[in-house]
Structure 1
Amino acid sequence: MNNYQARLDSIVQDFGFPENGTARPDLGYYRGKVPEAMIDFWQQNGIGIVLDGYFQFCDPGHYDGILKLVFSGDPDIHAEQTHALGFGAFGTIIAWNEIHQDVIVDLVKGHVSCPALVSGKKYDPNLAVTSQLMLLDDPTLDEYDANAKKLFKPARSKLGKLGVGQIYGFKPILALGGNRALANLSIYEALPHMAILAQAHDLQLMDNTAFPPTALRAVGS
């Protein structure tokens, strides 16, 4: 058995099988571009929604355009080497970069996290990607109202469950003066709403090891 199969099994045991997804990504195309553990996960489980919509695994090719908007012209993180693995209920993208490993794009806050780029430390790719996927229930994938109360469960109760390719979003978006309130949330198709978020502000590469997290530089050209 490979050294990551137990981790793949635990992801499904903890979060459930992906549901309602379309056909899995082209495994041959992504072999060598993402860790073998990700290929095996797709092969065994496909893509789709887990945790009642808190996260969904996606076909990376469908979200290439969003990553081009985010990383076009960036000196370190190149869009063509960055592949979306899935996204949270409010549009935070979990991705894999062929050079710099884990990349997280928080489109609502305008923050990009790439620990290996910031620290210079890389890990076994299969263990790195499975470690990231074992945190899909992390509270950082939620959004919070003005009183610091989590919004995912109230949004699901009020607006209904998300379908494949959908996210919750603020209207108007926060970058354009929207308020962090349940009343301001709607369900959006992920691709067009992500595109709006990606272009609404200058994204910043963050050092999350600092307290508070520190912006290092702008992302993109």
Structure 2
Amino acid sequence: MISDNYQYLLGMFGDLAQAEPVAPASHAGIGRLLPPELAGFLFECGTGLWLDGRFQFCDPLRFQPIVDLLLQADMDLRPDRTAMFGYSAFGEIMAWNQDHGLLQVNLPRLWASVSHVVEGGTADQTIIASLAGIGDLNYGDWHEDGVDGAPLLFKRVRKARGALALGEVYGFVPALEAGGEAHVETARRLKALEHFAILAQFGPVTLFDYSSGEQVRLRELGPQGG
């Protein structure tokens, strides 16, 4: 059953496009890893796209290898207690960590941050607040490197490369961490799982704190973390 919180999001963004059901065999694993309302939403609605692919939900178990690559046996943000459930058009992922809250990773830049559950709040409320933010006109978009005042990239890349299908992402070739730049000409439609696996191997991921309004570097994620 879809909770009132997720009914609210469906009212904002509509039904998922290109929706595919989550395999029943995955329900137990997903239910163990994700907060109950989010798990219930995935069971009822499946995976799919919102806002022309600015955000899409993915199967957490299928994308678990990406979590393992990104967190690299981190002792604090443990990969076995973390599940990825969605990502933006250019590869900014959302994942849930059972100990700390909402983990967001900008994969092309290998930056991460955590949004903790506020006192008196719930895990699902924390996730809902972030998902509601995809309604921002600039969500999931990207600034073009070295071009001051240029329009953002999403609509231009979508026109040049075509609309995203379920399981796809816009990626820059070569990758930004390999010296590439973000331009319409360097953007490609790529399979998200394979592209994310490549980007994750440029790690480690750097964890930042934004709670003060500034970008404060905390540490690198990995076996030494904790």
The two structures share one fold, judged by TM-score above 0.5: yes
Alignment of 1:33-72 (within 5 A): 33-72=33-72
Local SS of the residue matching 1:200? coil
RMSD: 2.1
Structure-2 residue corresponding to 1:95? 95
Contact 1:171 1:185 in 2 (8 A): yes
Structure-2 residue corresponding to 1:80? 80
Structure-1 residue corresponding to 2:9? 11
Q: CA deviation at 1:43?
A: 3.1
Local SS of the residue matching 2:133? coil
1:137-182 Cα offsets, whole Å, 9 max, x none, are: 3435321102364211111111100111110011111111112211
User: 166, 181, 184: which one pairs with 2:183?
Assistant: 181
1:104-130 Cα offsets, whole Å, 9 max, x none, are: 11101111111329xx96831121222
Structure-2 residue corresponding to 1:141? 140
Contact 2:30 2:60 in 1 (8 A): no
Unaligned segments of structure 2, at least 5 residues: none
User: 184, 190, 193: which one pairs with 2:192?
Assistant: 190
Whole-angstrom CA distance in 2 between matches of 1:170 and 1:121: 39
1:21-72 Cα offsets, whole Å, 9 max, x none, are: 3322533332242111112212332211111111111110111001100011
Scaled by the length of structure 1, what TM-score is found? 0.89
Identity of aligned residues (%): 29
User: 204, 208, 213: which one pairs with 1:206?
Assistant: 208
Letter in 1 for 2:141: D
Letter in 2 for 1:49: L
Contact 1:37 1:130 in 2 (8 A): no
- Which structure has greater helix proportion? 1
Q: How many residues end up aligned between the 2 structures?
A: 217
Letter in 2 for 1:156: R
Scaled by the length of structure 2, what TM-score is found? 0.88
